Structure 1
Amino acid sequence: APRLHNNLDLSSELYKRHHKPRSLLIRAQTEPYLSTTITRPIHIIPSSKTMATLSPRDNLNARVKGSSHIDFKTATTGVAAKSMRNEISHLVSTCDEHAKKQAFDTEMQSFFYLFTRYLSERAKSVDLDWDRIKSPADDQIVAYDSLSQPHDHNNLNKLAVLKVNGGLGTSMGMTGAKSALEVKDDMTFLDLTVRQIEHLNTSNRVDVPLILMTSFNTHEDTLRIIKKYANQQLRITTFNQSRYPRIFKESLLPCPKRADDDKKHWYPPGHGDLYNALLYSGVLDQLLSEGKEYLFVSNSDNLGAVVDEKILQHMIDSQAEFLMEVTDKTKADIKGGTLIDYEGSIRLLEIAQVPSEHVEDFKSVRKFKIFNTNNLWINLKALKRIMETEGMELEIIINPKMNEDGQPVVQLETAAGAAIKHFKNGHGINVPRSRFLPVKSCSDLLLIKSDIYSLQHGQLVLNESRMFETTPVIKLGDHFKKIQQFQKRFKKIPKIIELDHLTVTGDVNFGRNVTLRGTVIIVANEGQRIDIPDGCILENRLLSGNLNMIV
């Protein structure tokens, strides 16, 4: 073995020695990466002929070749890389089943590559030069209203829809797949998505498949849930994204000691893992073999992310390889990622990448007027070309966490939108706010469940009785934070068609058929309780204290 000096490209050397990618076919057949619910007799699992079109060794070598040069400046950084490599080798050795060991080995090699990039960037203090960051140029953001009307519905046959379905909704107190939460008229996120695409297919006589990217947290749940759609006019494919080990912040060693260690020691590495997961699962090649050319990606909890033929038509006409839907930033969106012009090229900037002294600048709506909805449109042939040649080198997002023992740990993640820099003619589309309706909290859930929206073929439609196109601002306190608390405190969702602003804090309970209008603020201080009775109408009211109202 060659002697390693402190200034040698240690991570690159280790990567070349130990990054021996396994057959993509082996991975697809041995790991629960690809599973399908099929409603028509269509072959989904990739054949060896299909899989042989891509050389995994060539692909990974191209990624190493296209990577930025890694030159560690300190011996400690080199030691950290070597220690991590040894720990990963041990983790792989604890995987007993041969077939699973091969797939797990490949996954750990990908993690090691990300980890060594993190070490290199940390040693070099690689940061964006804030002075070179500019607002996007006019030609980098296209207004939705300027898009042409679609003129050929058959273009839909070139489209597939992918939902990022790896989240648990832990911030809302959920333990299962977030997409299984009932959000409107007894239907879940997934129910609404299936209804939307089934209507799209039947009304236009096209075949748009639905693809679900799950995580190890949601995969089994999702497989159980999609069984009920077996008789729908829709093909559903699921595949699993990567599982990476959390690392201790101080030692930079992995938290798990064995491959089968508890889930709490592992994490899905963000939706930027989409591209590797599509490739390794065989789904990318399968879509291309079916004649699919475009992929519409969105988060499963964004109820505004429906297929839009105008955007698809624009993608075809403009020959853009990547489109990102953005929308105007409000005070509620100040932490959302934004598109920037960086030395003449378009880039995604996330708040985690911003130096602390510039965070307030990032939040400003004057310089950064738009934010990323994570509705992405991707040219599949271009994606295949990039993965086979330069590969994806997405900005690393460092997500600090605390484990159950109170020890600081780190998750290394990437964002799917950051890939825009790799595609030709990638740009943003400034879309109406109606295309961004996420449910991240119970405050969002109250809005979606209310009479502000109705459903048409699984799509949310603003109530015509609403005088303004804007939706009310809703702020529910900690007593409403978890879904179980939310359901207990609302006997029935209030009527809020004329509501402008609602703030509720403390121990507050709502009866049936309550109507809220204008600005309503309800505050129950600690040790106090407020019960809003059945049939109560509150208009421009401030309630506080300890109240048991009588109508």
Structure 2
Amino acid sequence: MTGQNVEKYLRFGRSPATCGQGLKLTCDPAVYLLPASFQKSSGVSRKDFSGFKNLFHRFLQVKGPSVEWAKINRPPEDSIQPYEKIKAKGLPNNITETLNKLVVVKLNGGLGTSMGCKGPKSLISVRNENTFLDLTVQQIEHLNKTYNADVPLVLMNSFNTDEDTKKILQKYSHHRVKIHTFNQSRYPRINKESLLPIATNMGMTGENAEAWYPPGHGDIYASFHNSGLLDNLLAEGREYMFVSNIDNLGATVDLFILHHLICQPADKRCEFIMEVTDKTRADVKGGTLIQYEDHLRLLEIAQVPKAHVDEFKSVTKFKIFNTNNLWISLSAIKRLQERNSMDLEIIVNPKTLDGGLNVIQLETAVGAAIKSFNNAMGVNVPRSRFLPVKTSSDLLLVMSNLYSLDAGSLTMSKKREFLTTPHVKLGSSFTKVQDFLTRFENIPDMLELDHLTVSGDVTFGKNVSLKGTVIIIANHGDRIDIPAGAMLENKIVSGNLRILDH
């Protein structure tokens, strides 16, 4: 950031003392926000700058919350269809032809840092030494082989994950899956006080490494369009993309939903389906669908006024939440991008960097675009289609005998009497994947488990069985070793001890 640019920026109305939102400026402030090298660069960087400029400009104009609580209504009955109704329509007559109209897109911009891993999260081993990416490729390859189809896989990478992901893709060269990648944008983090970028140049090393961020998965529309990949896939005859988070192991291609989309008359064709599922108390922060100003709309907790947060979390008022499994018309994306008519709500994400500097990231969510598409709807799917792995607690579930693995897909074991997933809460000693793995000689039998809480320095021997509600708490300075072959049923274990009998 040159001193001249800062001077121009401040002269047009910004200073640390006057950095509130809703300020009317006499020029476009974003022009003065970034280093001249960024503004003058070509290719993707120029597109990044244009996207950031628009987002930042909108951020400055925002006054108050993005929704008025009094205007929120429950969605009309027919706008969220039960999955069973979609399934009742049956499968397409020609499954191969239907599948060849599909593209599978996985959001692959995240790192595994929250689980103590370096590099892309998609490269963490989650089951039988298979990574998220391995399982995804296996699923699509199985589809292509079973139905003699040609469904491609598209990965939306970020600057954090692109290089490592591309290196690993070579191992799939002999699989029956065409894999494409494109990068989401790179935007500058903004100093919370001055509203100026903390980047000093375009570099990604040294002090500048923390200056940039990928602006959320809502960036998919612009980046996909700008990459040229969208046009190429449309030219191949592709009509819909199925988008999901790569760490959601339940997000497999569903032929019934795809058939529902393809079989609609052209004038009534649904351009956007959001898979939602019933909310439990573990999902209270998930986005939900509402009716707002005659449109179906995604409401995220970040948009909710503080006075109404408890109401938003209510399981009775807002009964469903967004799984982020989305089915979207490719031609509709192209239309909306060319008209620049996709208005996604801005999510202001505050962060504190390692040095203590408070910054903000301006982000958007992919599901927020639902209001821009014609005949958009929700489908209330079984909980099995939402199986995210965000923590080591989730990892324990998917590694256990609760699930069977077949052709890259995890399904609940038929030996489990209940369809519900146990509630598992592992303490901080298990946060990092490497620490987690050293604490289990092998994964316990959890077929009859309802609830597990583990806190402190706890290890598990081989062939441990957990049933009912099990709580194990090792106090600070204490250690608990669960011996091989132990069976714990409705037990509370605490203190500093070792269980010697079964």
Q: Please give the TM-score of this superposition, normalised by the length of structure 1.
A: 0.83
Once the two structures are superposed, the pairs formed by residues 122-521 of structure 1 within 5 Å of their partners are: 124-147=63-86, 148-151=89-92, 152-153=94-95, 154-261=97-204, 262-318=208-264, 319-521=269-471
- Per the alignment, residue 6 of structure 2 pairs with none
Q: Secondary structure at the match of 2:33?
A: helix
In the aligned structure 2, how far is the partner of 1:90 from the partner of 1:75? Answer: 26
Residue-by-residue CA offset, 1:474-494 (whole Å, 9 max, x unaligned): 111111111122112112111
Please point out which of 25, 41, 44 is paired with 1:78. Answer: 25
Q: Secondary structure at the match of 1:420?
A: helix
Residue-by-residue CA offset, 1:80-104 (whole Å, 9 max, x unaligned): 953x4223143426x8xxxx64431
Q: Which ranges in structure 1 are unaligned for 5 or more consecutive residues? A: 1-9, 14-71
8 Å CA contact retained: 1:243, 1:266: yes
In the aligned structure 2, how far is the partner of 1:113 from the partner of 1:85? Answer: 10
8 Å CA contact retained: 1:453, 1:461: yes
Please point out which of 53, 56, 60 is paired with 1:119. Answer: 60
Q: Does 1:109 align with 2:50?
A: yes
In the aligned structure 2, how far is the partner of 1:361 from the partner of 1:137? Answer: 20
In the aligned structure 2, how far is the partner of 1:219 from the partner of 1:200? Answer: 26
- Per the alignment, residue 5 of structure 2 pairs with none
8 Å CA contact retained: 2:349, 2:363: yes
State the AA in 1 paired with 2:485.
Answer: G
In the aligned structure 1, how far is the partner of 2:486 from the partner of 2:167? Answer: 42
8 Å CA contact retained: 1:80, 1:252: no
In the aligned structure 1, how far is the partner of 2:327 from the partner of 2:344? Answer: 17
Q: Secondary structure at the match of 1:310?
A: helix
Kindly state the Cα deviation for residue 238 of structure 1 after the two structures are TM-superposed.
0.8
- Per the alignment, residue 4 of structure 2 pairs with none
Kindly state the Cα deviation for residue 225 of structure 1 after the two structures are TM-superposed.
1.1
Kindly state the Cα deviation for residue 127 of structure 1 after the two structures are TM-superposed.
3.1
Q: Secondary structure at the match of 1:298?
A: strand
In the aligned structure 1, how far is the partner of 2:370 from the partner of 2:422? Answer: 33
Residue-by-residue CA offset, 1:507-533 (whole Å, 9 max, x unaligned): 111111111111100011111111111
State the AA in 2 paired with 1:395.
Answer: E
In the aligned structure 1, how far is the partner of 2:137 from the partner of 2:459? Answer: 34
In the aligned structure 2, how far is the partner of 1:535 from the partner of 1:81? Answer: 68
8 Å CA contact retained: 2:190, 2:196: yes
8 Å CA contact retained: 2:109, 2:161: yes
Q: Which ranges in structure 2 are unaligned for 5 or more consecutive residues? A: 1-8, 13-18
In the aligned structure 2, how far is the partner of 1:79 from the partner of 1:176? Answer: 43
Q: Please give the TM-score of this superposition, normalised by the length of structure 2.
A: 0.91
Q: Secondary structure at the match of 1:546?
A: coil
8 Å CA contact retained: 1:520, 1:542: yes
Q: Secondary structure at the match of 2:181?
A: strand
Q: How many aligned residue pairs are there?
A: 474
Identity score, percent: 55
Residue-by-residue CA offset, 1:165-206 (whole Å, 9 max, x unaligned): 011022111221001011111111111110110010011011
State the AA in 1 paired with 2:336.
Answer: I
Residues 406 and 81 (structure 1 numbering): CA distance in 2 closer, same or farther, change over 3 Å? farther
In the aligned structure 2, how far is the partner of 1:419 from the partner of 1:256? Answer: 30
State the AA in 2 paired with 1:103.
Answer: V
In the aligned structure 2, how far is the partner of 1:550 from the partner of 1:75? Answer: 66
- Per the alignment, residue 62 of structure 1 pairs with none
Residue-by-residue CA offset, 1:386-430 (whole Å, 9 max, x unaligned): 111243210000100001111210000000001111110001000
8 Å CA contact retained: 2:21, 2:59: no
In the aligned structure 1, how far is the partner of 2:27 from the partner of 2:482? Answer: 59
8 Å CA contact retained: 2:461, 2:484: yes
8 Å CA contact retained: 1:305, 1:375: yes
8 Å CA contact retained: 2:65, 2:303: no
In the aligned structure 1, how far is the partner of 2:387 from the partner of 2:191? Answer: 35
State the AA in 1 paired with 2:57.
Answer: T
In the aligned structure 1, how far is the partner of 2:178 from the partner of 2:259? Answer: 23
In the aligned structure 1, how far is the partner of 2:149 from the partner of 2:383? Answer: 28
